[in-house]
Chains A and B, each alone.
Chain A
Amino acid sequence: MIQLVIIGIYLGLLLFLGVFSSRLFRGTSQDYMLASHSIGPFLLLMSIFGTTMTAFALVGSSGEAYKEGVGVYGMLASSSGIIHSLCFFLLGIKLWSWGHKYGYTTQIQFFRERLESDKIGVILFPILVGLVIPYLLIGVMSSGVVISSITEGAFDSAFAAYDYGVPPWLGSLVISLVVLIYVFFGGMRGTAWANTFQTIVFMVLGVVTFFVISSKLGGLEAASHAVLEKNPSKLMRDVDPKDRAAYAKRYETWTLIAKYNYATRVLKTLTLTPEQKKQAYEEFKPRMPNWQMTAEAVFAAKNSLYELTTEQTNKALLKQDDRVMPDPFPEKWTTDLMSHHALQEYPRKANAEDEQAMLIFGNKIGHPNHDLDPEDPSKGKKWTIKKALGVYRATNWAPDAPHPMSKLVFFTYFFVPLSVGMFPHLFQHWLTARSAGTFKLPVVAHPLFIMIVWVPCVLVGVWATSATFEGAPLFPPHFPANAVLAAMVKKMTSPVLAGFLTAGILAAIMSSLDSQFLCIGTMFTEDIVVHYGGKDRFTDKQVVLMARTFIILVVAITYGFSLLEPRRVFTLGVWCFSGFSSLFPIIFAAVYWKRLTKAGTYAGVLVAIGTWLYLFKEAGYAMKPNYTFLGMMPVATMVVASAAAMILVSLVTRPPSKETLVRFFPED
Chain B
Amino acid sequence: MRYAVYGLVVVLIILHQDNWLWDDKRLILGFMPITLLYQAGISIGAAIVWFLATKFAWPHHLEEIAQESPAPAPAPEAASETAPETGDTE
User: Residues of A with Cβ closer than 8 Å to B?
Assistant: 24, 26-31, 33-34, 36-38, 70-71, 73-74, 77-79, 81-82, 85-86, 89, 93-94, 96-97, 100-105, 109, 112-113, 118, 219-221, 223-225, 228, 232-233, 235-238, 240, 404-405, 407, 410-411, 414, 434-437, 440, 443-448, 450-451, 455, 458-459, 462, 526, 530-531, 535, 540, 543, 667
Contacts and interface: CB of A to CB of B under 8 A. Distances in A.
Smallest CB-CB A-B distances: 5 pairs: A36-B73, A238-B23, A105-B87, A220-B31, A447-B46
Contacts of B76: 24, 26
Interface in B1-42: 9, 12-13, 16-19, 21-25, 27, 30-33, 35-36, 38-40, 42
A30 B72 CA distance: 10
Contact of B47 (A31, A411, A444, A459): A444
A228 B47 contact: no
Which of A81, A410, A530 counts the most chain B CB atoms within 10 A?
Answer: A81
B86 A30 contact: yes
A407 B18 CA distance: 10
Interface in B66-90: 66, 68-69, 72-74, 76, 79-80, 83-90
B43 A77 contact: yes
Contact of A235 (B35, B61, B84): B35
Given A100-B65, A407-B19, 13 more contacts: A27-B80, A30-B86, A70-B36, A96-B62, A101-B68, A103-B85, A112-B90, A219-B31, A224-B32, A224-B33, A407-B17, A446-B47, A459-B36
Nearest to B5: A89
B63 A435 contact: yes
B66 A100 contact: yes
A462 B42 contact: no
B80 A30 contact: no
Give the interface residue-count category, chain B.
35 or more
Classify the secondary structure of A's interface with B: helix
A36 B73 CA distance: 5
B42 A410 contact: no
B51 interface: yes
Contacts, number: 201
A236 B46 contact: no
A667 B64 CA distance: 13
B62 A97 contact: yes
B90 A109 contact: yes
Given A30-B87, A235-B27, A543-B86, A97 B65 contact: yes
Nearest to A34: B87
B66 A531 contact: no
A89 B52 CA distance: 12
A237 B27 CA distance: 14
Given A228-B25, A238-B23, A74 B18 contact: yes
Contacts of B32: 224
A154 to B, nearest CB: 34
A540 B68 CA distance: 26
B53 to A, nearest CB: 6
B50 A85 contact: yes
Which of B25, B43, B76 counts the most chain A CB atoms within 10 A?
Answer: B43
A404 B63 CA distance: 48
Contacts of A38: 72-73
A225 B54 CA distance: 41
